[in-house]
Chain A
Amino acid sequence: MNSSASAILESRIGQIHEKGASPFKLECDKNSAAGSVSQRACVFCGSRVVLYPIADALHLIHGPIGCAAYTWDIRGSLSSGEELHRKSFSTDLRELDVVYGGEKKLERSLDQLIDQYSPKAAFVYATCIIGAIGDDVDAVCGKMTAIKGIPVIPVHSEGFKGTKKDGYKAACTALEKLVGTGDISGIPPAGINILGEFNLAGEAWIIRDYYERMGVKVVSILTGDGRVEDVSKAHGAALNVVQCSGSLTPLAQEMEKKYGIPFLRVSYFGIEDCAAALYDVADWFVGNAGRIGLDSGHAEMIRQRARNLVADETARTWPKIRQYADRLKGKKAGLYVGGAFKTFSLLKILRSLGVSVELAGSQTGNEDDYKRLEEMGDEGMVIVDDSNPLELSHFIKEKDIDLFIGGVKERPIAYKIGVGFCDHNHERKIALAGFEGVVNFAREISASALSPVWRFMPRRSAGGNK
């Protein structure tokens, strides 16, 4: 049904590239074409996913009910204590509020909710119609901050004002208001912040454990098992270690400018990248010990411990993965995820498991990301930016893909046409980061790609396509 010509909109041809077919060139960072059935969400979504795991803050969504309803307890971000983030709070604006403005309702909502739940801070998300009716959210937040004595922070996340990436920026702007307000006395010199880690299935705890075993203090994980107080002290760290570079890089850049805290970009997915992350941090402390007042012996110790940790974990992990790799060898995979940075790690892990990547794409990658992805990929790999169901299913068929890795919206596309699937998005409940995450990942993809059910699907069964 779908030849290339019928699957791809003319206006989107520039956002698709096949390695080897032509010199690298890919358009990206564009607004989604209307009617393209983009897999992207909106500015609000970007802000909401970043701030969501701050568990002791009130997250009040200012607007009609939908935005709050669809983001109620949908993510796998775990908290070690408070769970205020798992409730859905909305000003639930009605017609009269839209006509006369929602400021009063917002103020009353904040007043009552802060009294009832005693949050450590409140984030107020402005949704589409707030931008249209012009409520002065900043003024209400300022007033409530003064009255309630906690930070009440506006998040300018009107859905139409850009893409999900702009939502990340709005979330970073909100976080900047908290960072720098806490007491940083007593924080040791070898302290880091973990950025862009959302503690899905406890992943932030796995990563923090690695750093602590290395002798590095984790000052704040900002957005994973997040606490307002931890965020407020984040400027006491010597280094920001940024994962999911798309979302938290703006905050890291701002903190570098304001507090002189440099940042490293890392990934914790896969043995190779996770080891590299720990080594990079260790090396950074060795190289900067003098500047940050860290004893050089301690810095060397961090490096030695990192080596030991990686050696131990790899020795424990690799045999477990091998049993999967033997059976996965020769399978073909497609990837479509939120940020392009994740595709680099996934490509490496899959390769180490003997799985080739035939299709890779993301909702919000930038040109540098895609260039790097192209360099890493094999000949014939298709790269897509801001894709949609018709394109993805077209390339799944064209490349005869066995396994697709993506999020909730990609899953039924894969299953419907008889293709294995692994969820690598924010709703998952299985840890895929760190060394143990690699084993989980190998098990996850094996459970789908090696399942015997596919032989019954029209795609594979006698009689062919349906």
Chain B
Amino acid sequence: MTPEAVSAPPSLISPQAGPKIQASPEHHGPSVSEQRNLMKESFTADAVPAGRAIRTPSSAEGLPRAATVNPCRLCAPLGASIAFRGVRGGVPILHGAQGCATYIRRYLISHFREPIDIGSSSFGESAVVFGGESKLFEAISNITAKYNPEVIGVATTCLAETIGDDPRIYLASRRKAHPEAPPVIPVSTASYRSGHIVGFQDTLKALVEAFSPGGIASEGPVAEITHESAGILIPMLSPADLRYLKSVYSEFGLKPILAPDYSETLDGEAWGEYHSLPEGGTGAEEFRALALLPEILELGEYPPGSESGGTVLQSHGVKRRVLPLPIGVEAADSFTAYLSELSGREIPGILLSRRGRLIDSYADAHKYLYGVRIAVICNEHLTPALIRFCAELGMNPVLAASGSPKNVLRRSLMANPPHEIHNGIEILDNSDFLQVEEALDRLKPDLVFSSSKPYRICRDRNIPLIRVDFPIHDRFGAQRILNLGYSGTQRLLDTITNTILEKRQNDSPVGFSYQ
């Protein structure tokens, strides 16, 4: 809850954006030292002394609050459930009491508007006393009988973790006894350790581990690897983002293995009758092929020392490339340049024209956006990407907040800072919306990017809310929100600009229809 004092990097000003598209293996854009040098050259008009560029809020200096009020994060098994839904024929089981599965189903259903079946080992008191082994076996057997899954994922709840019930132990003996059964892949997802974003990442890591050499599900068919094969690991994104990533890979002639792939399972077509297993998902054989690829791309923010599916593959000799989410021209350029390098192909014309139109619209929109104060309260992968994107447009990011683990957001933004900071960004890691509320009153942003959760606090302050993150429970089409690539950036730019125009128009006593 308490953001630590941050040794702040200086306020920065953007270099002249050049037409070149290039990727750097460590981070996109100019290096930090380059940027620091640039900082010395000039400031924006309203820039403040360098020491205030990234700072700790004053409220944090008081006694820390004990309770969390209006949380910014959800629990780890929710992330696990989404990741397991991205496995072809995958059914998640939450190991614990019945409520966790039901609450999570309801939360996911209200966002994705899809049926999402999640099993539970339905702990009663005896399971708490004697352990959950027999309940988990019962759940696996019932799920197997009725769903005929290809893969079962078992995510532990707080309860199972607290009583020390570790399915990894007894699932190993079950596997020996029933080698023909579908693989059951356990992951430890106690919510007193982490939230939904880490739960997702840990589950992807568990999946990659299980299907890689030496893993519990490594035996079995392996997808054929060709020169066109390319692997990509993702953090929690929208189904539309997943589809977009696959299409961009295809435009480079690449055949992507995207893991996990819930682009269809959580945003599918109408059915004539109920399908126990929705179509789509990353196949077991595709997961097995990941460790055989020469290279893997992992999207998102991974502070040094963090473990992920990508680091597991790295240990199997796969070259790991990490890129931030491709939002904004610069980040999308890095992504595109990476694909060009990977495929050995020129950037396809369709992408160049998409980029060209986006640049053109940057010029058309820039004046509406310059200096507009922005607060981003999204997950720890999306928040830094949106902050950099807004900075790239000349907007003024004033708050970056997340329910992320301590220091994660701060480290990501320090390692790869935005090009231009007007007068400082306040960073709140491990935050809740009460803390965000206090920050909004202090920093008075013009726009908020988040999920639907801060709707009330934005409404009370007459600040428009742009919904980009999970969950979105008060709008339609959350599963089709595209944030990534030149297309996603274009959509975001149009949305942001129109939101600003609409606000001005609504607040104006004149109300011109011609702006």
Contacts and interface: CB of A to CB of B under 8 A. Distances in A.
Interface of A: 1-2, 6-7, 9, 11, 31-45, 60, 63-73, 86-95, 97-98, 105, 108-109, 111-113, 128-129, 131-133, 159-163, 388-390, 393-394, 397, 408-409, 411-413, 415-418, 456-459, 464-466
Interface string B101-140: 1111111011001111111111111011000000110111
Interface stretch (B269-277, B283-291, B421-429): B269-277
Given A69-B71, A88-B69, A159 B98 contact: yes
Interface stretch (B187-195, B306-314, B333-341): B187-195
Given A32-B122, A38-B122, A160 B128 contact: yes
B363 interface: no
A66 B102 contact: no
Contacts of A132: 128, 159, 162-163
Contacts of A67: 99, 103
Nearest to B93: A35
A72 B123 CA distance: 24
Interface in B61-108: 65-71, 73-75, 77-78, 93, 96-107
Contacts of B98: 32, 38, 40-42, 159, 163
Interface string B171-202: 00000000000000000001111010000000
A413 B276 CA distance: 11
Interface stretch (B142-150, B348-356, B372-380): B142-150
Contacts of A42: 97-100, 102
B103 A45 contact: yes
Contact of A390 (B69, B135, B193, B274): B274
B157 interface: yes
Given A41-B99, A112-B67, A417-B270, 9 more contacts: A1-B275, A33-B138, A42-B97, A43-B99, A45-B99, A69-B74, A70-B75, A88-B69, A409-B102
B141 interface: yes
30 contacts: A2-B274, A9-B142, A34-B135, A35-B141, A38-B122, A40-B98, A42-B100, A43-B97, A64-B158, A65-B73, A65-B74, A65-B191, A68-B68, A70-B106, A88-B68, A89-B69, A111-B66, A112-B67, A113-B67, A128-B158, A129-B159, A129-B162, A160-B159, A161-B124, A390-B147, A390-B276, A409-B102, A413-B115, A418-B270, A458-B270
B65 A161 contact: no
B453 interface: yes
Given A34-B138, A466-B271, A64 B122 contact: no
A181 B78 CA distance: 41
Contact of A394 (B96, B97, B142, B274): B274
Q: Which 6 A-B residue pairs are closest in the complex by CB-CB distance?
A: A42-B99, A465-B272, A66-B75, A35-B142, A35-B139, A393-B274
Contacts of A98: 158, 162, 192
Nearest to B99: A42
A7 B115 CA distance: 16
A133 B270 contact: no
B274 A413 contact: yes
B403 to A, nearest CB: 8
Contacts of B142: 9, 11, 33-36
A311 B431 CA distance: 56
Given A40-B102, A90-B68, A128 B273 contact: no
A89 B109 CA distance: 24
B102 A38 contact: yes
B456 interface: yes
A68 B107 CA distance: 13
Contact of B193 (A7, A71, A92, A95): A95
Given A35-B140, A129-B162, A1 B273 contact: yes
Contacts, number: 251
Given A95-B193, A160-B127, A72 B276 contact: no
A70 B192 contact: no
A361 to B, nearest CB: 16
Given A95-B193, A131-B128, A409 B274 contact: no
Contact of B70 (A38, A63, A72, A389): A72
A412 B109 contact: yes
B222 to A, nearest CB: 29
A105 to B, nearest CB: 5
B274 A159 contact: no
Contacts of A38: 98, 102, 120, 122
Q: How big is the B interface, by class?
A: 35 or more
Given A34-B121, A159-B97, A72 B71 contact: yes
Interface centre among B141, B274, B453 (most CB of A within 10 A): B274
Given A9-B145, A98-B162, A128-B158, A109 B67 contact: yes
Contacts of A413: 115, 274
Given A95-B193, A417-B274, A459-B273, A35 B119 contact: yes
A160 B97 contact: yes
A397 B275 CA distance: 12
Contact of B117 (A72, A113, A389): A389
A159 B159 contact: yes
B75 to A, nearest CB: 3
B66 A416 contact: no
Contacts of B73: 65, 69
B337 to A, nearest CB: 39
B492 to A, nearest CB: 26
A159 B99 contact: yes
Contact of A412 (B113, B125, B140): B113
The interface centre, meaning the residue of B65, B141, B273, B456 with most chain A CB atoms within 10 A of its CB, is B273
A34 B154 CA distance: 13
B66 A459 contact: no
Contacts of A93: 192
Given A45-B103, A128-B96, A466-B272, A35 B159 contact: no
Contact of B115 (A69, A72, A389): A389
A44 B78 CA distance: 18
A416 B271 contact: yes
B122 A31 contact: yes
A40 B105 CA distance: 11
A98 B161 CA distance: 10
Contacts of A112: 65-67
A77 B8 CA distance: 45
Given A34-B142, A42-B99, A129-B162, A1 B276 contact: yes
B68 to A, nearest CB: 4
B141 A415 contact: no
Given A2-B273, A416-B114, A73 B456 contact: yes
Interface string B265-302: 00011111111100000000000000000000000000
B274 A389 contact: yes
A408 B109 contact: yes
Nearest to A460: B272
Given A1-B273, A393-B273, A128 B157 contact: yes
Interface in B37-52: none
A322 to B, nearest CB: 32
A416 B269 CA distance: 8
A418 B138 CA distance: 32
Nearest to A93: B192
A63 B75 CA distance: 12
A70 B103 CA distance: 6
Contacts of A113: 67, 69
Given A34-B136, A37-B119, A65-B73, A128 B159 contact: yes
A409 B110 CA distance: 9
Nearest to B141: A35
